[in-house]
Amino acid sequence: MPGSFFDTNVLVYLASDPERAARTRELLASGGTISVQVLNEIANVVRRKLGFTWSETRQLLSMIQEFVAVVPVTLRIHEDGLALAQRYRLSVYDGMILAAALSSSCDTLWSEDMQDDQVINGRLTVLNPFPRRPRE
């Protein structure tokens, strides 16, 4: 069943930007998927950049997990992620996000970091949930 995959940058707004947090919560209401990598990246950002305590960090991660399925980063995802990073000229980390989304049969990746409306492998569309102009 197709669904949404969330990149780290979108979920971090739950802790840092009330306006964008509202849009993120709206998207999360329909559920979705993330990988363990996303949880790790969120923990790093909120601890290092936002000054969260360990307790606050764990609370945020637990809250997110109530709305999404969490998939592991397997060796297959790692290998596919490297190939995607090379093919689409992305960072290794973005390649891993794409590979996890594809392996989870998602059809949408919500991300600000990649090209809006880009289609990956003919079946995963990257969408910016905070476009400067409304989608038609």
Q: Evaluate whether residue 43 is within a structural domain.
A: yes
Q: What is the CATH number of the domain that holds 29?
A: 3.40.50
| Mean pLDDT by groups of 10 residues along the chain of 136 residues | 90 96 96 98 98 98 97 98 97 98 98 95 97 65
Is 45 inside a domain boundary? yes
pTM of the model: 0.93
Which residue range forms the structural domain that includes residue 9?
4-72+100-127
User: 98: buried, middle or exposed (CB in 10 Å: 19+, 13-18, 0-12)?
Assistant: buried
Q: Are 111 and 128 in contact (CB under 8 A)?
A: yes
